[in-house]
């Protein structure tokens, strides 16, 4: 990463999602066992949902990470967040999540929810660092493999 005050070029490409991004979203998610694994058709259905919000990070013409969420009234849910394996632990997930939380806040969202696999200790720690707190557990929530979910929430204030 760059020194203090320098911009990291890997994070300069955060932009809004476009329908033509779907094949790359599927590819990025396939590299991340921890993320929700959706088909091309699943992403296409999401695009039609009211309150849909998605951001991608694009570098050198390729998508290296994305975050997908949905707003309903003054609440939102992070539905999926994934970063290509070679780009992990370099701040990209943090930048994507921060950007989507900022957009949700501007839209008037007060609370953001998400689920994370119980075995995903790094993901849980990441979300806690981002201000999310555990609010419960949901046994058998995930498939392939079957696993429980940790439910988390973040209040957006200020």
Looking at residue 7, its pLDDT comes to: 39
Looking at residue 3, its pLDDT comes to: 34
Looking at residue 37, its pLDDT comes to: 66
In a domain, 1, yes or no: no
The domain in which residue 100 lies consists of 11-155
Active site residue: 43, 92, 115, 142, which one? 115
> Which pair of tokens denotes residue 146?
């079957």
In a domain, 23, yes or no: yes
- Of the chain, the percentage scoring pLDDT greater than 90 comes to 46
Active site residue: 127, 128, 147, 153, which one? 127
Looking at residue 4, its pLDDT comes to: 34
In a domain, 100, yes or no: yes
Q: How many structural domains compose the chain?
A: 1
Answer with the residue of higher pLDDT: 21 or 78: 78
92-140 pLDDT per residue, tens: 889 999 999 999 999 999 999 999 999 999 999 999 999 999 999 999 9
Give me the helices (H) in 68-144, please: 92-106, 121-129
127 is catalytic: yes
pLDDT at 69 over 50: yes
In a domain, 130, yes or no: yes
Q: What is the rounded distance in angstroms from the CA atom of residue 24 to the CA atom of residue 113?
A: 25
Q: What is the rounded distance in angstroms from the CA atom of residue 88 to the CA atom of residue 111?
A: 26
In a domain, 3, yes or no: no
pLDDT at 40 over 90: no
Looking at residue 12, its pLDDT comes to: 63
Give the CATH number of the domain where residue 92 resides: 3.40.630.30
Please check whether residue 70 is in contact with residue 79, taking contact to mean a CB–CB distance below 8 angstroms: yes
77 is catalytic: no
In a domain, 4, yes or no: no
- Of the chain, the percentage scoring pLDDT greater than 70 comes to 88
In a domain, 118, yes or no: yes
In a domain, 19, yes or no: yes
Confidence of residue 76 (pLDDT cuts 50, 70, 90): very high
């Amino acid at each position: 990463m760059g020194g203090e005050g320098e911009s990291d070029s890997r994070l300069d490409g955060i932009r809004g999602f476009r329908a033509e991004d779907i094949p790359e979203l599927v590819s990025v998610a396939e590299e991340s066992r921890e993320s929700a694994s959706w088909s091309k058709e699943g992403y296409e259905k999401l695009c039609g949902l009211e309150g849909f919000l998605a951001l991608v990070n694009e570098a050198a013409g390729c998508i290296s990470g994305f975050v997908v969420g949905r707003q309903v009234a003054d609440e939102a849910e992070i539905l999926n967040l994934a970063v290509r394996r070679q780009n992990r632990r370099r701040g990209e997930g943090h930048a994507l999540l921060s950007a989507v939380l900022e957009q949700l806040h501007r839209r008037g969202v007060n609370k953001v929810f998400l689920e994370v696999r119980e075995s995903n200790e790094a993901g849980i720690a990441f979300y806690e660092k981002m201000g999310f707190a555990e609010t419960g557990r949901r046994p058998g929530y995930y498939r392939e493999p079957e696993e429980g979910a940790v439910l988390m929430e973040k209040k957006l204030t200020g």
